[in-house]
Amino acid sequence: MMSMSSFPLAIIYIIGAVLLPVLPRQIRSAFFLIVSALAFFILINLETGASLTFPFLNYELMACRVDRLSLAFGYVFVIMGFLGGVYGYHMKESLQQVAAMLYVGSSLGVVFAGDLFTLIFFWEIMAITSLFLIWARRTRESRKAGFRYLLVHAFGGSALMAGILLHLQQTGSLLFNHFDGGAASYLILLSFALNAAVPPLNGWLSDAYPEGTVTGSVFLSAFTTKVAVYALIRGFAGLELLIWAGTIMAVYGVVFAFLANDGRRLLSYHIISQVGYMVCGVGIGTAIAVNGAIAHAFAHILYKGLLFMGMGTVLYATGRNRMTELGGLFKKMWPTLIFFMVGAFSISGVPLFSGFVSKSMVIYGAEMEHLGVIVLLLSLASIGTFLSIGLKLPYFTWFSTDRNVKTQPVPPGMYIGMGLASALCIAIGIYPALLYNLLPFEVHYQPYTASHLIESMQLLIFTGLAFWLVMKNLHAEATITLDTDWFYRRPSRLAFNIFSVSICELFGAVERLSLHLARYLVKFGDNPAGYFVVAMKTTGHILLRTEKPAPEPSTFSPDRYRIPLGFMVLVVLLVLIVLLAWDFLF
């Protein structure tokens, strides 16, 4: 029986997405916020331990499972959906609004799914709806990036489906719990890792997210990878492989981000880096490390959404997003700079901001397990984050060379959305209990210790000093970065020719051959005896070839040997009589 304590939040967003297009354009944005507010009201009334189950075929599905893990992700997803609606309040295009609403709803559907069938159902909706937030920009680049995004996630969904079917065959259960290994688990892990953008499965993210719409990229930055982190926690917490995978992600994303020229591409690479901290925490698997992964996912959704809001506002106002085309915007867009720097300080782990109280928990979890190399690499990644997002990106966007970029007015909703997100980042940084009280395990961690503060400030101050010393000699440069997406972008023309053009040509040849064969069969049916006689005479001429000249072509014409239809009917009748007699006698 469905009750308020176990009501699937995805239903709210699905119903809202169905109703939104038929509403007047003037109230659609307000309706988007009303749906988010209603979802939050239902969320706070969900009871830990409650579930909603119903029979399906020979199995029992759990469409909603409420525990502290799903609630933690549920809260931040609903909050981010609301903030995205505020930021995009000026948007009246129903395609983006419906896609965004279904994207948020399907993400919540995965988070509260208690069985694998429900999981993959919403997993695929999540992939399709996020695709439309890329295509909605309606540029050549977004169209191509969207198709690549679709192909990659179709592969991931296929791997997930294969893993689920194999798991069902082996265990007879569809419940979504911790996986114990085997081929089914590896296929499911592959799908989760792809959505988490674990290298070398990361190229789709930095390829597609910068091509999304101004509002769409805000939503894209928040959900897909964090849903994958949730799925990894639920199914693979404690898997040692994830420790090194996450650490590589953290460093990998920072390196490629520093090479990027496009502002939103730089932020996209830092999604990979920051998700690396979460994946590493999942791999460590202890209570403090898993808590850190969840806390950092919560904080990351807010500050990364804020950062994409900031660069999206720049793109909206100027039509430009590359650092080589920007500069000198401080006087024209100083409020955006202030909000952006709140996000930049949060992601860099500056004290009194949200990243300081979440990222450090993952590093502390690694310290407790005596993983010295992991601690060192994660700390280096943190320095690189501050260098590229806290210093490089704002310097070349708002300061540096003034290129007299013209700007247009920014809708108030953009500033309000950034202001609300900034307030949450600061509130969590000042009062960590707001976040820690939502975590599934009891928290025994204090981020504001003297040693931690001194260590963090030393790293930040010396990184800032090094940047300041070389700042006058720095110049933004247009770059071409080769990432793992090269392996499916570069050979794409060859693959297209092999798997599309060649296949089409083969089918065309078979079709032409079939038509020719059909014509010959029709002619043969018109005079089979004549064609038989011609075939026999032609064969005899070839086998008994002499020095005599070849007969005239008219000699081999079937029409010369046309036999009356009645005679052919008689032959067929005699053949049938012989067959019947044979069957009767023998």
Reference 245, options 188, 297, 193; nearest CA is: 193
pLDDT at 60: 86
pLDDT at 515: 84
Q: What is the pLDDT of residues 311-330, one digit of tens each?
A: 999 999 999 988 888 888 98
Reference 41, options 69, 74, 65, 89; nearest CA is: 74
Q: What is the pLDDT of residues 491-521, one digit of tens each?
A: 766 766 776 678 888 888 888 888 888 877 7
Return d(Cα 119, Cα 72) in angstroms, integer. Answer: 18
Reference 342, options 427, 448, 413, 426; nearest CA is: 426
* pLDDT category of residue 155 using cuts at 50, 70 and 90: very high
pLDDT at 554: 53
| Structure tokens, 305 | 């959404």
Q: What is the pLDDT of residues 170-213, one digit of tens each?
A: 998 899 999 988 899 999 999 999 999 998 898 899 999 999 99
Angle at 253 (CA atoms; ends 248, 255), nearest 5 degrees: 100
With contact defined as beta carbons under 8 Å apart, do 142 and 216 qualify? no
Q: What is the pLDDT of residues 439-463, one digit of tens each?
A: 999 888 999 999 889 989 988 998 8
Cα-based distances in Å from 414 to 76, 94, 578? 19, 18, 90
